[in-house]
Structure 1
Amino acid sequence: MSFPWKVPADEEYSKHPKLKKEDVQAIQEWIKSTDYLPKIDDEMVCNFLYACFYNVEQAKKTIENFYTYKNTMPDFFDNWDPSIKEIQDAINNVLIASPLPETDNDGHRVIVCKLNDTNTELFNYPACVKWILMSCVYSLWARGIQKGYVIVYDATGFTMSHLLKCSLTNVRNYINYGKNASPIRVRKIVFINTSPVVKRLMTLVKPFLSKEIIEMMSFHTDFESFFANVPKTGVPEDYGGEAPAMIDIHKECVRTIMEHKEWIVAEGKVRADDTKKGGKSKKDKLDGSFKRLELD
């Protein structure tokens, strides 16, 4: 299936002079030589190359991880269909997650994630992550290569009860995906409206974090200090700006992605063929959830 790339590879080359067609072709030849990696569009290769700062070897590793993790992280990649109940429950009731309508003052695309309903009985961490990953893939199709991304987690209403519902395996997998397999160039990871729960979470996951990721992180007890770097016209009204409320931006994002449901489903099936790969893909498993850790 041909995916809905709004920005073709030739246009990406003209926008980003360091992005070389010969590097994309070299990676495509390498993909063919592996036998177990799927065929992917040049546009997707361009995104990986840009995310890896044009380093061909690093892009190869990232591509391999991306398509292999789809097999080893089933909670995030199996049933990649935004219309299934677990995703619908998440996006209609629990989660608000969407890019803002404008970039920040540095030209970075800002994605805001927050809880809509703080009822812990409704909270489904894997479903929330799955939607965020779907949204990121759609952003690649719709916007093309972006200068960079800023991921903002609004911790309002996030409690220890939410944390205790997260499995250690899934939290580590999400972190590993961000470190090793993301096709977008993440420049900052920002936590706003933080609380002692966020501080405790960071203490628990720090062993999984690389130095590079830690250096990307910043923490704000309010939201004003972060949104000062976003034009008022691009800041949601519930954060003091002139754009529509975050829930309305989210609903529009949901509507648009649902219109491309068939492509999202198809993308979920594009993955490595473990039967052709030497050895078996390892599924990391950490027992239990944060309940098993000392949280005092």
Structure 2
Amino acid sequence: MASSEEVSILCLGPEIPHRCQLDIFFRSAEHLAPSNLFDMNKELEEIARNELGETPEVQKEALAQFRQRLEEENGLRIPPDDVLIKFLRAAKYRVDKALKTFRNFFRARRDMPEYFEGLTPSTIPYKSVFRDHKLLMFPEGKDPEGRTMLMIRFGAWKHSISSMDDLVKCFIVGAECALLDDDTQIRGFVGVDDLEGLGVHHLVDLTPGFLRRVVTLVQDTFPARIKGVYFINAPAFFEGLYSLLIRPFLSKKLKKRVHITSGGLSELVGLISPELIPKEFGGTLEDFDFDAQERRFHEKTAYFEKIQQYGYMTE
């Protein structure tokens, strides 16, 4: 079998179809993108080694195996190593598991254009969803365990603010930006979903198909280590909705990490960091800086433009 260098030489020339040249370009793109895979502080290196089994040697070998498996995928433009490492870390360097999540992620990008097509920080309704109604917050700080925290106020959402698809896209942008951080990849996420205000008008949108799609995106598609999910201010009917339409699709591990309470943030003392959440929602933070969050999102625009170049070609 010809090496990648030999294939590149064989495919050069104007007589070769443009698609062949594109495939060679994308399959060798990992050599063009600089990587900061080993640029971490000692504390984070220690956590990565203890929790994920990550060392430079393990990482190098796993990346080689992962890339070899991806070369066998049909119609795939393989992203560079800094993208692949997210999947390996989420899978604790189990290549088979990383491959499964990778397939889910890039097939979702191909098969769910309503969420992913042309998605960048500039294409989401930031003012309405974030600044005006404060439905999503991705604090820059970490909790005492170094985990990234996010807060969703789904109970406050309504159609006059945004479509449900736009709300999902806002979540995706925030999660993708957070997952570009080594700390988030290694230490994981903690999520708080405030359901205050959840009512019958939401149930029209919370169809079994939509809930299954969201579970798939969060649990099976994103290369994220989900360390805890806390539903607060849950109305009486939510536990039944969760048991019937959400819990059956969760992994055994995630089921243990989901907690539901009818009370507010005060019931999560010792579980989440109130200093990351504004006072108006039960935390101790004076004001959440939505301007700074928007700047952080836009600083990651190049990633969103880059990731659209990779993945499974449209069938």
- Asked if Structure 1 and Structure 2 have the same fold, meaning a TM-score greater than 0.5 normalized by the shorter chain, the answer is yes
Give distance in 1, aligned partners of 2:274 and 2:312: 43
Listed one character per residue, the Cα deviations across residues 239-267 of structure 1 (whole Å, up to 9, x for unaligned) are 4544343xx34443123213433432443
Within 2, Cα distance between the matches of 1:197 and 1:269?
Answer: 43
Paired amino acid for 1:272: Y
In the TM superposition, what is the alpha-carbon distance from 1:175 to its structure 2 partner? Answer: 0.6
Q: Whose Rg is larger?
A: 2
Q: 1 CA distance for matches of 2:91 and 2:276?
A: 28
Tell me which of 212, 229, 241 is aligned to 2:253: 212
Judged with a 3 Å threshold, the aligned counterparts in structure 2 of structure 1 residues 179 and 23 are, in CA distance, closer, same or farther, namely: same
Q: Does 1:78 align with 2:78?
A: no
Choose the corresponding residue for 1:27, options 66, 71, 76: 66
- What's the CA shift for 1:222? 1.6
TM-score, normalised on structure 1?
A: 0.78
Q: Is the 8 A contact 2:121 2:301 kept in 1?
A: yes
Checking the alignment, whether the CA contact within 8 Å between 1:224 and 1:239 is kept in structure 2 is: no
- Which residue pairs with 1:102 in the alignment? 141
Q: Does 1:188 align with 2:216?
A: no
Residue deviations 1:143-178, cap 9 Å, x none?
553312111111122222123124443321111122
Q: Which amino acid aligns with 1:253?
A: Q
Between the two proteins, the alignment pairs up a number of residues equal to 271
Cα distance in 2 for partners of 1:96, 1:7 equals 34
> Which residue number in structure 1 is paired with residue 265 of structure 2?
223
Structure 2 counterparts to residues 28-67 of structure 1, below 5 A: 28-67=67-106
Distance 1:184 1:249, change over 3 A: farther
Which secondary structure does the structure 1 equivalent of 2:136 belong to? strand
Q: Is the Cα–Cα contact under 8 Å of residues 194 and 232 in structure 2 kept in the other structure?
A: yes
2:135 corresponds to which letter in structure 1? I
> Does the C-alpha gap of structure 1 residues 216 and 243 become closer, same or farther in structure 2, counting only changes over 3 Å?
same
Distance 2:272 2:236 in 1: 26
Structure 2 residue 276 is matched with structure 1 residue 234: yes
Q: Deviations over 1:210-247 (max 9, x none)?
A: 333322210122211225334554343334544343xx
Alpha-carbon separation, structure 1, partners of 2:123 and 2:34 = 26
Paired with 1:154 and 1:7, the residues of 2 have a C-alpha distance of: 37
Is 1:151 matched with 2:191? yes
Q: Secondary structure at the match of 1:34?
A: coil
CA distance in 1, matches of 2:202, 2:93: 38
Conservation of the 8 A alpha-carbon contact between 1:97 and 1:250: no
AA aligned to 1:210 is S
- Look up the match of 1:69: 108
CA contact (8 A) 1:100 1:110 kept: yes
Identity of aligned residues (%): 18
- The answer to whether the Cα contact below 8 Å between 1:93 and 1:116 also exists between their aligned partners in 2 is no
1:139: how far off? 1.3
Q: What is the letter of the counterpart of residue 201 of structure 2?
A: S
Q: What do you get for the CA RMSD once the two structures are aligned?
A: 3.0
CA distance in structure 2 between the partners assigned to 1:225 and 1:101 by the alignment: 23
How far residue 40 of structure 1 moved from its aligned partner, in angstroms, is 1.6
Q: Give the superposition deviation at 1:8.
A: 1.2
Q: Which has the higher contact order (CA 8 A, sep 6+)?
A: 1
Separation (CA, whole Å) in 2 of partners of 1:182 and 1:106: 21
CA separation of 1:157/1:137 partners in 2, compared to 1, >3 Å: closer, same or farther?
same
Counterpart of 1:165 (choices 205, 214, 218) is 205
Q: Which residue of the partner structure matches residue 214 of structure 2?
A: 174
Secondary structure of 2:312 counterpart: coil
The one-letter code of the counterpart of 1:97 is L
**C-alpha deviation, 1:116, in angstroms:** 8.7
Q: Which residue among 250, 257, 271 is the counterpart of 2:297? A: 257
Structure 2 runs not aligned, ≥5 long? 1-28
